[in-house]
Amino acid sequence: MSNPVFYAAAAELGPLVPGERFALAGAEGRHATTVKRLSAGEAVDLCDGAGLRLGCTVAEAAPGVLTVLVHQVVHEPAPTPTLTLVQALAKGDRDALAIEMATELGIDAVVPWQAERSIVRWKLDKALKGQEKWRQVVTAAAKQARRATIPQLGSLAGTAGVCELIADADLALILHEEAKDPVAAVARAWSSARERPERPAKVLMVVGPEGGISPAEVAAFVAAGARTALLGHHVLRSSTAGPAAVVVLNQELGRWP
């Protein structure tokens, strides 16, 4: 069974080597000692959220502070190609559910998208609160999945911003119920045909809101270089489409052994 994960700043964990001790305090220390109730001798992993994982053993558990002994330092490589989910804002926390599941399944980055048909709107203070909420969701989901890497969170994007992301991607898919080609087939063909460059390839998925992606948005995204792709024969909710595509792409692109 994998060890529970707790996060600390890279500046704190980076210099540590096997044999050294580290005191985990703050919110993570309180979670470890008062919620998880860890005790001396138990195994834990400390991660910086960017791929560094320290294998540790609890040396002492005091209220709010977990002192560990480091015995292993691992730098986990980033998966390739990287996967980014552009998720339209959706009501009923369906957008938060989407990024939570996608994080557990291994997404590398998420970007909130203010689509034309999004009922939810992020403006002024609400935008700051929404961004922070998404940050908390992906962090908690990464922790639950015991990941060493927390997905990057992009800034709120409009249609023009999504077009820029599409232009920068090596493969960009619009998950659309009227598409003809399945996601798996598109990914398989792209993976077979592409050359193996030195830099990691970028794959991006675009998921619309409850009312779907507007024709104008689809046209703009296609013009920027995206392709429409189909996820099965059923219409999926905004909260389900992205995670389902992550599973397919993980398998087809060799991210899952």
CATH number for the domain that contains residue 69? 2.40.240.20
Which residue among 27, 53, 75 closes a domain?
75
Query: What pLDDT score does 177 carry?
Result: 84
Are 103 and 199 within one domain? Answer: yes
Q: Is residue 257 part of a domain?
A: no
Closest CA to 249 of 173, 152, 194: 173
Query: What pLDDT score does 198 carry?
Result: 64
Query: What pLDDT score does 119 carry?
Result: 87
Query: What pLDDT score does 123 carry?
Result: 83
pTM: 0.92
Strand pairing class (43-47; 202-207): unpaired
Are 217 and 114 within one domain? Answer: yes
Q: Which domain holds residue 25?
A: 5-75
Cα 235 from Cα 28, distance rounded (Å):
40
Query: What pLDDT score does 54 carry?
Result: 98
Strand partners, 203: 83, 171
Are 34 and 53 within one domain? Answer: yes
Are 48 and 92 within one domain? Answer: no
Query: What pLDDT score does 117 carry?
Result: 87
Are 47 and 99 within one domain? Answer: no
Are 86 and 168 within one domain? Answer: yes
Residues of the chain with pLDDT under 50: none
Are 71 and 94 within one domain? Answer: no
Are 108 and 152 within 8 A, CB to CB? yes
Are 183 and 157 within one domain? Answer: yes
Q: Is residue 213 part of a domain?
A: yes
Query: What pLDDT score does 245 carry?
Result: 95
Q: Is residue 151 part of a domain?
A: yes
CATH number at residue 232: 3.40.1280.10
Are 57 and 100 within one domain? Answer: no
Which residue among 45, 75, 105 closes a domain?
75
Q: Is residue 131 part of a domain?
A: yes
Strand partners, 110: 85, 153
Query: What pLDDT score does 249 carry?
Result: 96
Q: Is residue 25 part of a domain?
A: yes
* Overall domain count for the chain: 2
Query: What pLDDT score does 23 carry?
Result: 96
Cα 247 from Cα 202, distance rounded (Å):
16
Q: Is residue 200 part of a domain?
A: yes
Sign of CA dihedral 206, 209, 214, 220: negative
Are 110 and 179 within one domain? Answer: yes
Are 240 and 114 within one domain? Answer: yes
Query: What pLDDT score does 28 carry?
Result: 95
Are 121 and 232 within one domain? Answer: yes
Query: Which two tokens mark 156?
Result: 């709120």
Which residue among 28, 54, 75 closes a domain?
75
Q: How far is CA 22 from CA 61, 211, 257, in A?
A: 12, 50, 34
Q: Is residue 173 part of a domain?
A: yes
